[in-house]
Structure 1
C-alpha cells in the first residue's frame, strides 16, 4: 500500500517541478532592450478608489514619453503580476495609461471537493519575475516585439474619486 502511494505521488511531483523550471527558463530567455527607440519622461503608478459603494478600486500605470522613433507601437505593461493594455489619448499622443480594476470574483468556486474547485479559471500568468516596483513595457518596433524593464517605478498618492461629480449642478 505504501509503495502504491509513492508510485502515485511521483508523477505529480515530476510535473510540478517540470512546470517550475519551465517558467523560469521562459523569463530568462527574454532579452530586455538596453537602448529602446524611445525616451521616458515620466512613469509612475497610482492606486485609486471610487467614492461610491460598488464603485471599486484599482491601480493605474502612467507613462509619458519625451521621444519616440517612428514605427514604435506601445502595447502593454507587465506590473504587479498583471498585464495591462496601454492606451493613449489622441490629444496627448506621448502619454499612455494602463488601467487595472480590482475585481471581486463571484465566479470562484470554493468547495471541500477538489473536483469542483478545479472548475475555476486560472488567473493570467505573468511571464516575468519582477520586484514590487518593477515593470516591463512591451512594444513592437520594425515588426518585432521587444521588452524594456523599468526599475524603481514610483508610487503617487492614492486618488480618491468623489461620490458625485463636483461640476454637475443638480
Structure 2
C-alpha cells in the first residue's frame, strides 16, 4: 500500500510540473551575443535570440526573458524567431557637460546560472515562467570605432 501511495504522489508531482511547460526545451534554441560600441560612451549590451522549432499555440504569447539579472521584452522577428535587446552599464561614460541619464535595462532579483534564462509566456492571460538551461554564447560583436571628423 505504501508503494502505491508513493507512486501516486510521484505521478501527481510530475504531471503538475509538466503542465507549466509551454514548449519542450529540446524545441528551443537559445543563444546570446554581447556587444560593445566602438566609441567612448556608445554603450554595450547583450542580444538574446530565441528560435523555436514550431510555432506557439494561438493562446500563448512570448512576453519577456530574464537573463543575467535583466528582464526585457521580446521583439518578434517572425513566428519562430524572437530577439530581446539588453542594454548593460558598460561603456556608458558621460562626457563633461552631459546631463543625460544613463539608460540600462531593468534588473530582476532572480539569480540564475551563467547560461540559464527564464522565458515568460502569457497563456490565456496567465503568466507562465519556463527555465532554459542551455543558452549558447555567440562570438562577441565588436563594433568599429567611428571615423575621425575632419
TM-score (norm 1): 0.58
Relative distance call for 1:48 and 1:77 in structure 2 (3 A) is same
Relative distance call for 1:33 and 1:56 in structure 2 (3 A) is farther
- Report the equivalent of 2:34: 47
- Report the equivalent of 1:147: 129
Give 1:100's match in structure 2, choosing from 86, 89, 93: 86
**Shift in Å at residue 141 of structure 1?**
0.8
Give 1:73's match in structure 2, choosing from 19, 43, 61: 61
3-state DSSP class of the match of 2:74?
strand
Q: Separation in 2 of the partners of 1:152 and 1:99?
A: 19
- Structure that is richer in helix per residue: 1
- Report the equivalent of 1:133: 115
Q: Separation in 1 of the partners of 2:40 and 2:115?
A: 29
1:57 matched to 2:39: no
Unaligned regions of 5+ residues in structure 2, if any? 1-16, 95-104
- Report the equivalent of 1:156: 138
**Shift in Å at residue 160 of structure 1?**
1.7
- Report the equivalent of 1:87: 75
Unaligned regions of 5+ residues in structure 1, if any? 1-30, 107-122, 166-170
TM-score (norm 2): 0.65
Relative distance call for 1:52 and 1:129 in structure 2 (3 A) is closer
Relative distance call for 1:38 and 1:86 in structure 2 (3 A) is farther
**Shift in Å at residue 153 of structure 1?**
1.2
Which string of whole-angstrom CA distances, capped at 9 and with x for unpartnered residues, describes residues 115-144 of structure 1?
Answer: xxxxxxxx9552433111111000101221
Rg larger in structure: 1
> What number of residue pairs does the alignment pair up?
117
**Shift in Å at residue 52 of structure 1?**
2.6
Q: Separation in 2 of the partners of 1:125 and 1:155?
A: 21
